[in-house]
Amino acid sequence: MSSTTEEAARRRTFAVIAHPDAGKSTLTEALALHAHVISEAGAVHGKAGRKSTVSDWMEMEKDRGISIASSALQFEYAPEGHEGEPYMINLVDTPGHADFSEDTYRVLTAVDAAVMLIDAAKGLEPQTLKLFRVCKARGLPIITVMNKWDRPGREPLELVDEIVSEIGLQPTPLFWPVGEAGDFRGLARIDEEGEAAEYIHFIRTAGGSTIAPEEHYSPDEAAEREAEAWDTAVEEAELLAADGALHDQELFEACETSPVIFASAMLNFGVHQILDTLCTLAPAPAGRDSDPAALEASTTAMDERRDPGDEFSGVVFKVQAGMDRKHRDTLAFMRVVSGEFDRGMQVTHAQSGRSFSSKYALTVFGRTRSTVETAYPGDIVGLVNAGSLAPGDTIYSGRKVQYPPMPQFAPEHFRTLRATSLGKYKQFRKALEQLDSEGVVQILRNDARGDANPVMAAVGPMQFEVMQARMENEYNVETETAPVPYSVARKTDAATAPKLARQRGVEIFTRTDGELIALFGDKWRLQFIQKENPDFVLEPLVAD
């Protein structure tokens, strides 16, 4: 086994995803705490006098107590009793708010598994359901964590039944709660036969800011100590085992089952059990197939697939600026797909064919950055000032490879944007170019409105707030927005555009990537025009 393959085998790259306020950022910080990367967890909601989490670095995130941008953290972790090199964890905390779904979906193209966090009091919420389905569609194995068990909530069997009935995913409990929701005493470790093999009792710490000590008891000792609470946990585990809810690695990797762990991220209960499960069950980095469209269009030899041990390749899944006021730079977050990445190596940008040197490469822990010399499949690297890179781009060495593009989502909200001061126009254009390249919003222009008054297109209205806040905080440009009378967007072509422009309730724009975009007042207007003009080219903005 080559050193690259060995390094890839110890990588675990996963995303934490959930509905807003399920506790993603709290869990992210708790996982880092249990890996001894930080010594004390911060409170997450940005309230007066409290710390914000390591992963939430943007001012809006601290003010609102929500995650707006995805954040990558990397650290080593060795489960108790593990022999050999520790695992290298690449963890991506993602936005939960539906307005930032596109950022979350991009992250899901760069990870090998997902931790789906569910609020035990609320169960499956709309965004949770949506993300579960996306994970299943992408073939991402899912580990389910029932969070906030320290608070009053629903019955555990009811939560499991809801997952089965709503999304057809079979939960397989690995750690079952002892004590009802709001009275979290510990966890019963469930063995391969579905029996409660051990009782893990947690001891609270002040504010949950440090690792919660554990006491381990045999089933007999647990029955004596916890009486009815233990008996209930045993009975529920037996019911699930009788129903076939047992862990099977093949079914888990096929996204047919999902290991379940009950936890309280705020109290640090059940957190290292989550880490241990990720290390032992989540898949190591695998290979990736080239984009079929790129293969068909290529006039030169191209690799159809790259596996971890092959030559270097990576895919950019996010571009972010303004993460640190001390460093006025842009980071392109790249997932290493294959081979060994060495800082300073000469690589090729698949989309443009240009080569560039990766002299400035970083690993990122929230806002903290450190130079990376070498990275392996599964690792996430920040490439500094790689201005030519955009989400979905491939970089490689050796023979060409090009991976499928990132999914895009049809915007449903549109507003104009302009600088309040004409004297700030130069900064305005620079900020617009940068934030557009990051995918904060899509920027649409036409001659009638001019460059000083473009239209922003977004999945959710909160993206407009992020755009304005970053314009002001990072570029010192105050802006104002105004509504436009459109709610539907379609791609069109050069032949159709002039004819569409003569239709009432339609306006034609050019997107930054050169695509012609038609905006319609509403879906009924679109349907009427399509019916009257069946030869018009009108395609959804969503990529396959």
The pLDDT, as a whole number, for residue 47 is 35
Q: What is the pLDDT of residues 248-295, one digit of tens each?
A: 999 999 999 999 999 999 999 999 999 999 999 999 999 999 999 999
Q: Strand 346-349 vs strand 341-342: parallel, antiparallel, or unpaired?
A: unpaired
Is 131 a residue whose pLDDT tops 90? Answer: no
168, exposed or middle or buried, with CB in 10 Å at 0-12, 13-18, 19+? exposed
DSSP letter, residue 400 = B
Average pLDDT over residues 167-193: 95
191 marked ligand binding residue: no
207 marked ligand binding residue: no
The pLDDT, as a whole number, for residue 21 is 82
Indicate the helix (H) or strand (E) that contains 519: strand 516-520
The pLDDT, as a whole number, for residue 45 is 34
Pick the closest to residue 143 from 285, 308, 7, 18 (CA basis). 18
The pLDDT, as a whole number, for residue 408 is 66
Is 219 a residue whose pLDDT tops 80? Answer: yes
d(CA 480, CA 461): 14
Longest dimension (CA), the chain: 81
Task: Report residue 280 as tokens.
Answer: 């032992």
What 3 state SS string does 81-147 have? Answer: CCCCCCEEEEEEECCCCHHHHHHHHHHHCCCCEEEEEEECCCCCCHHHHHHHHHHHHHCCCEEEEEE
Torsion from C-alpha of 151, 153, 157, 161, nearest 10 degrees: -130
Indicate the helix (H) or strand (E) that contains 509: strand 506-511
Residue-wise over 363-385: b if at least 16 C-beta within 10 A, else e? bbbbbebeebeebbbbbbbbbbe
Within 10 angstroms of residue 157's Cβ, the number of other Cβ atoms is 12
Average pLDDT over residues 236-251: 95
Helix (H, G, I), strand (E, B) or coil at 144: strand
Domains and CATH numbers, the chain: 3-281 (3.40.50.300), 288-396 (2.40.30.10), 413-532 (3.30.70.3280)
pLDDT band at 61 (very low <50, low <70, confident <90, very high): very low
d(CA 454, CA 466): 16
d(CA 356, CA 346): 6
The pLDDT, as a whole number, for residue 306 is 97
Task: Please provide the average confidence, as pLDDT, over all residues in the chain.
Answer: 87
The pLDDT, as a whole number, for residue 53 is 47
The pLDDT, as a whole number, for residue 395 is 96
Q: What is the pLDDT of residues 390-403, one digit of tens each?
A: 888 999 999 999 99
**pLDDT over 90 percentage in the chain:** 59
d(CA 309, CA 299): 26
The pLDDT, as a whole number, for residue 162 is 94
d(CA 199, CA 314): 43
Q: What is the pLDDT of residues 139-174, one digit of tens each?
A: 899 999 999 999 999 999 999 999 999 888 999 999
pLDDT band at 410 (very low <50, low <70, confident <90, very high): confident
Average pLDDT over residues 98-123: 83
Within 10 angstroms of residue 137's Cβ, the number of other Cβ atoms is 10
23: left (phi over 0), alpha (psi -120 to 50) or beta: left
Cα Rg, the chain, nearest whole Å = 25
94 marked ligand binding residue: yes
Task: Report residue 261 as tokens.
Answer: 């762990």
Task: Report residue 134 as tokens.
Answer: 């996306």
Side by side, which strands form the sheet with 442-445? 479-483, 413-419, 455-458, 442-445, 506-511, 516-520, 488-492
The pLDDT, as a whole number, for residue 379 is 95
The pLDDT, as a whole number, for residue 78 is 93
Q: What is the pLDDT of residues 450-479, one digit of tens each?
A: 989 999 998 878 888 888 988 888 889 999
Q: Strand 330-338 vs strand 380-384: parallel, antiparallel, or unpaired?
A: antiparallel
Q: Which of 8-22, 35-49, 242-256, 373-387 has the lowest mean pLDDT?
A: 35-49
Question: What residues have CB less than 8 Å from 43, skipping those under 6 apart?
Answer: 50, 51, 52, 207
The one-letter code for the residue type at 25 is S
Q: Which of 57-61, 355-359, 462-466, 537-541 has the lowest mean pLDDT?
A: 57-61
d(CA 117, CA 270): 13
pTM > 0.85: no
Torsion from C-alpha of 102, 106, 108, 111, nearest 10 degrees: -160
Task: Report residue 477 as tokens.
Answer: 């440009």
